[in-house]
């Protein structure tokens, strides 16, 4: 093993960027592989285009004749791009995407190949979906799943070096119409939010209200490791993280990586990656080095949530593929290296429409401020009431390693508003900020207060859920996760809060027709009940962990085993049912799928740890021990007496490691659990605990065994050599 490790070090030290073509100008490549409205306008008749545009913007149903016309245009466009196959792409309940490819080809009676693609083929597909997790939503006798075209997310071409496939973003449902994917709930949550927001805005006297949507801009962190190292790390290849590895002498304590010069190989990779995103119509906007060595971030410009979610999935796919082309393994795991910063995905989220604008933007005018205060209040209430749900949507075995660790937002959901805005809400609560009505103009003096400086210095980076000037940023989301789950939870909790606000506002307006007075009354009540969730201090501190739970009554749920059962809370079930986002059985199926995934990924890691310890680390330790002891023996025969404490330490750690391996092996044999909660708890406590024991001894051995005899690339190598 060590020979290949040393060869890898040598090869990587001298590695050069791969040769690439001259970059193409942005206007030539932007969305060149996307069948978007602009492409359709060129190829469709005026009437057909009008119908499609209506569907894209409002979700109106497309008639069969128009669907045929769109399908034909889409096919011609795809064929001209070299595509021979098409695929509905869908988003199952895992964090992955799924696709089934079909050829455009049919042969006629003369044996000639012709191509065919009808409206019905475009609209509906039937993948053999029985292998996707469905959480008992589909019994095997009803194993049919359907995909259906989502016209609001544009189709595109996926290129490989010698082929291309037309990809059609789709929903995925059972034959009885239950949502088997992450897209259907997202679309439903948008409608629920739209409906509730319209109620509030109407009560606020708005007359023209266009459809509301949420926006999402997701900042994606990731690590790059040279694939020559990754090739001899089965843990990186199979689990996406290192299960072993001692701390390097030079860690990130130097912080010189953050925003540092991006090494040339990485720079070349990034430009290639971004060019591909541009071709796919994904607006890559910023990139930089992250805190940890070997860690980077990419953030596209924000888009409508549904499109942003599809683009996020595509971005992760393109990231991995392009990294490979450049000789890197891209790690999306939340904590690939213990003791080094983990990776998150900051989900920036706002809601708005074309008539009222961004409702989370305080703006400069008092009337707009009132709408803003209501929507912001709705978020505060939502996070307080459904914090455990938000936590559950980001729960995974991999994110558990990051949440609550030193550098990541804690596993306690609180809201950060910033000093100015926090004061406004606290003052409304205590009555220090009185609504005053002078001559029909609402002058709260808020217009000055609420014109926030959008200064990053004002940001609290320790909060899991922070207001950042004109949006909220959910920072506890994991780097490998789909953004859909968090977006569904945020949209739905907002819908619920806006419904509550609408009810209260109606009563308040009946008592006092002045909007300002009514809004203040509603917000006062809201703050009294839910203001406890606002926290501007250091979210990483031990003091907050104690205070949050004991004084504020917030929940601290450090592991997935603690967090996922929130899906079974009655309040959560009522939330999803009343808003029409998820039926009780759809919700239950998600709980089943996620808990199964949690258990599975921990069991896979445990087996891998056993394997690497037994077949890699133990042999290396024993080999070196035998060298040491024979050297000591030879020395002793030559009359030289030597200290044997290193040899003894290797022997005892190797023994202890194998004992821990045996215990872990035994622990994995236990299968009789009364309920899935019990099984998750067992994984979180017993299995993870034993894996840590094995790792402890193994990492000690890494510091004792000769460097040349160590089988796996070390942290210092994987993180620093580029
Ligand atoms: P930072 O790292 O300082 O948080 P970035 O510029 O890296 O900021 O990322 C901010 C993300 O938030 C980007 O994806 C950006 O497009 C997105 N964003 C900006 N305004 C909004 C908004 N109103 N709604 C949703 N997302 C937004
Ligand atoms: Mg950010």
Average pLDDT, the chain: 90
* Best mutation site among 218, 289, 297, 299 for ligand 1 pocket (most ligand atoms within 8 Å of CB): 299
Q: Which is more confident, 94 or 535?
A: 535
141 pLDDT tier (thresholds 50, 70, 90)? very low
CATH hierarchy code of domain 597-720: 1.20.120.1560
The CA 583 to ligand 2 mean position distance, Å, reads 33
Instruction: Tell me the three state secondary structure of residue 290.
Output: coil
Pocket lining: 472 vs ligand 1, CB cutoff 6 Å: no
* Best mutation site among 348, 350, 463 for ligand 1 pocket (most ligand atoms within 8 Å of CB): 348
Q: Give the whole-angstrom CA distance, residue 424 versus residue 477.
A: 28
Show the CA angle centred on residue 36, arms to residues 30 and 38, nearest 5°.
80
**189-582: which CATH topology?**
Creatine Kinase; Chain A, domain 2 (3.30.590)
Q: What pLDDT is attached to residue 437?
A: 45
441 pLDDT tier (thresholds 50, 70, 90)? very low
Which tokens hold the place of 655? 């023994």
3 pLDDT tier (thresholds 50, 70, 90)? confident
The CA 32 to ligand 1 mean position distance, Å, reads 25
Q: Give the whole-angstrom CA distance, residue 283 versus residue 216.
A: 12
Pocket lining: 25 vs ligand 1, CB cutoff 6 Å: no
Instruction: Tell me the three state secondary structure of residue 446.
Output: helix
Q: Where in the chain is the domain with CATH 1.20.120.1560?
A: 597-720
Q: Where in the chain is the domain with CATH 3.30.590.10?
A: 189-582
Pocket lining: 215 vs ligand 1, CB cutoff 6 Å: yes
Residues of the chain with pLDDT > 90: what percent? Answer: 71
Q: Which residues contact 302 (CB under 8 A, 6 or more apart)?
A: 215, 216, 217, 308, 348, 350
Place of tokens 């194998």: 658
Among 25, 53, 24, 57, which residue's Cα sits nearest to residue 39?
Answer: 53
pTM check: above 0.80 = yes
pLDDT tens string 280-305: 999 999 888 776 778 999 999 999 99
Q: Which residue owns the Cα nearest ligand 1 atom 24? A: 350
* Best mutation site among 219, 308, 345, 376 for ligand 1 pocket (most ligand atoms within 8 Å of CB): 219
Buried b (16+ CB within 10 A) or exposed e, 538-561: ebbeeebbeebeeebebbbbbbbb
Which tokens hold the place of 84? 């021979």
Among 307, 421, 301, which residue's Cα sits nearest to residue 361?
Answer: 421
CB 397 within 8 A of CB 560: yes
Pocket lining: 618 vs ligand 1, CB cutoff 6 Å: no
Helix (H) or strand (E) holding 465: strand 465-467
Alpha-carbon distance values, 685 to 249, 609, 643 (Å)? 30, 16, 40
Helix (H) or strand (E) holding 693: helix 688-702
Pocket lining: 358 vs ligand 1, CB cutoff 6 Å: yes
The CA 509 to ligand 2 mean position distance, Å, reads 38
Q: What pLDDT is attached to residue 139?
A: 54
Alpha-carbon distance values, 441 to 299, 365, 445, 450, 508 (Å)? 41, 11, 11, 17, 19
Pocket lining: 456 vs ligand 1, CB cutoff 6 Å: yes
Q: What pLDDT is attached to residue 446?
A: 54
Q: Are strands 295-300 and 303-304 parallel, antiparallel or unpaired?
A: unpaired
Q: What is the ipTM for the molecules in this complex?
A: 0.96
Q: What pLDDT is attached to residue 82?
A: 94
Most confident of 22-31, 196-205, 280-289: 196-205
Which tokens hold the place of 311? 């683009």
CB 68 within 8 A of CB 119: yes
Q: Give the whole-angstrom CA distance, residue 658 versus residue 652.
A: 10
CB 348 within 8 A of CB 218: yes
pLDDT tens string 516-559: 899 999 999 999 999 999 999 988 888 999 999 999 999 999 99
Which tokens hold the place of 254? 């130097």
Pocket lining: 457 vs ligand 1, CB cutoff 6 Å: no
448 pLDDT tier (thresholds 50, 70, 90)? very low
Q: What pLDDT is attached to residue 438?
A: 37
Pocket lining: 348 vs ligand 1, CB cutoff 6 Å: yes
Q: Which residue owns the Cα nearest ligand 1 atom 14? A: 217
Environment of ion ligand 2 (residues, CB < 5 A): 346
Q: What pLDDT is attached to residue 9?
A: 83
Q: Which residue owns the Cα nearest ligand 1 atom 11? A: 217
The CA 510 to ligand 1 mean position distance, Å, reads 39
pLDDT tens string 324-382: 999 999 999 999 999 888 999 999 999 999 999 999 998 766 556 899 999 999 999 99
Q: Give the whole-angstrom CA distance, residue 682 versus residue 603.
A: 11
Q: Give the whole-angstrom CA distance, residue 548 versus residue 58.
A: 42
CATH of 2-11+30-181, picked from 3.10.180.10, 3.10.20.70, 3.40.50.700, 3.30.420.40, is 3.10.20.70
Q: Where in the chain is the domain with CATH 3.10.20.70?
A: 2-11+30-181
The CA 221 to ligand 1 mean position distance, Å, reads 14
Q: Give the whole-angstrom CA distance, residue 429 versus residue 253.
A: 43
| CB-neighbour burial class of residue 423 (10 A; exposed 0-12, middle 13-18, buried 19+) | middle
């Amino acid at each position: 093993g060590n020979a290949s490790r040393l060869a890898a070090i040598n090869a990587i030290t001298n590695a050069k960027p791969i040769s690439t073509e001259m970059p193409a100008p942005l206007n030539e490549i932007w969305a060149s592989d996307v069948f978007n409205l602009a492409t359709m306008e060129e190829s469709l008749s005026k009437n057909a285009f009008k119908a499609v545009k209506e569907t894209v913007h409002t979700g109106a149903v497309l008639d069969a004749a128009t669907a045929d016309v769109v399908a034909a245009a889409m096919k011609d466009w795809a064929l001209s791009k070299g595509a021979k196959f098409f695929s509905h792409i869908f988003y199952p309940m895992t964090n992955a995407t799924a696709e089934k490819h079909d050829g455009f080809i049919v042969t006629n009676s003369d044996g000639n190949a012709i191509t065919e693609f009808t409206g019905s083929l475009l609209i509906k597909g039937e993948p053999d979906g029985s292998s996707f997790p469905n959480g008992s939503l589909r019994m095997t006798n009803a194993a049919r799943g359907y995909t259906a075209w989502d016209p609001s997310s544009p189709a595109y071409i996926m290129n490989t070096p010698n082929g291309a496939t037309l990809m059609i973003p789709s929903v995925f449902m059972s034959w009885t119409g239950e949502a088997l994917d992450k897209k259907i709930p997202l679309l439903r949550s948008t409608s629920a939010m739209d409906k509730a927001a319209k109620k509030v805005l109407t009560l606020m006297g708005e007359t023209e209200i266009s459809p509301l949507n949420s926006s999402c801009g997701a900042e994606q962190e990731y690590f790059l490791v040279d694939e020559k190292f990754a090739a001899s790390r089965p843990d990186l290849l199979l689990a996406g993280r290192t299960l072993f590895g001692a701390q390097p002498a030079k860690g990130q304590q130097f912080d010189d990586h953050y925003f540092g010069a991006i090494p040339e190989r990485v720079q070349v990779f990034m430009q290639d990656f971004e060019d591909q995103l541009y071709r796919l119509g994904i607006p890559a906007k910023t990139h930089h080095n992250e805190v940890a060595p070997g860690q980077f971030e990419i953030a596209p410009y924000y888009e409508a949530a549904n499109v942003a979610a599809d683009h996020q999935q595509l971005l992760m796919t393109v990231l991995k593929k392009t990294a490979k082309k450049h000789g890197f393994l891209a790690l999306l795991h939340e904590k690939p290296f213990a003791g080094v910063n983990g990776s998150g995905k900051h989900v920036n989220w706002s809601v708005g429409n074309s008539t009222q604008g961004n409702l989370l933007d305080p703006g400069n005018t008092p009337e707009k401020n009132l709408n803003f205060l209501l929507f912001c209040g709705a978020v505060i209430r939502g996070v307080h009431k459904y914090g455990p749900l938000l936590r559950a949507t980001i729960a995974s075995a991999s994110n558990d390693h990051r949440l609550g660790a030193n550098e990541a937002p804690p596993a306690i959901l609180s809201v950060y508003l910033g000093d100015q805005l926090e004061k406004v809400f606290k003052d409304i609560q205590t009555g220090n900020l009185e609504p005053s009505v002078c001559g029909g103009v609402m002058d709260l003096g808020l217009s000055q207060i609420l014109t926030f400086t959008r200064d990053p210095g004002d940001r609290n980076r320790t909060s899991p859920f922070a207001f950042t000037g004109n949006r909220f940023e959910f920072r506890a989301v994991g780097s490998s996760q789909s953004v859909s789950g968090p977006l569904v939870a945020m949209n739905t909790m907002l819908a619920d809060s806006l419904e509550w606000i609408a009810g209260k506002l109606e009563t308040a307006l009946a008592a006092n027709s002045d909007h300002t007075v009514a809004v203040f009354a509603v917000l006062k009540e809201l703050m009294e009940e839910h203001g406890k969730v606002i926290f501007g201090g250091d979210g990483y501190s031990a003091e907050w962990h104690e205070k949050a739970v004991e004084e504020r009554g917030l929940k601290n749920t450090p592991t997935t085993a603690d967090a996922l059962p929130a899906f079974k809370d009655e309040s959560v079930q009522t939330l999803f049912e009343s808003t029409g986002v998820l039926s009780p059985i759809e919700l239950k199926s998600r709980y089943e799928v996620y808990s199964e995934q949690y258990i599975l990924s921990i069991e896979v890691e445990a087996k891998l740890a056993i394997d690497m310890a037994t077949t890699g680390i133990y042999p290396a330790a024993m080999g070196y021990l035998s060298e040491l002891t024979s050297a000591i023996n030879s020395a002793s025969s030559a009359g030289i007496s030597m200290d044997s404490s290193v040899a003894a330490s290797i022997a005892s750690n190797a023994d202890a490691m194998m004992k821990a391996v045996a215990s872990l092996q035994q622990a994995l044999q236990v299968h009789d659990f009364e309920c899935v909660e019990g099984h998750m708890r067992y994984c979180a406590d017993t299995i993870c605990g034993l894996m840590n024991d094995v790792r402890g001894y193994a990492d000690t051995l890494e510091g004792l065994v000769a460097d040349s005899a160590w089988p796996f690339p070390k942290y210092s190598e994987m993180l620093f050599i580029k």
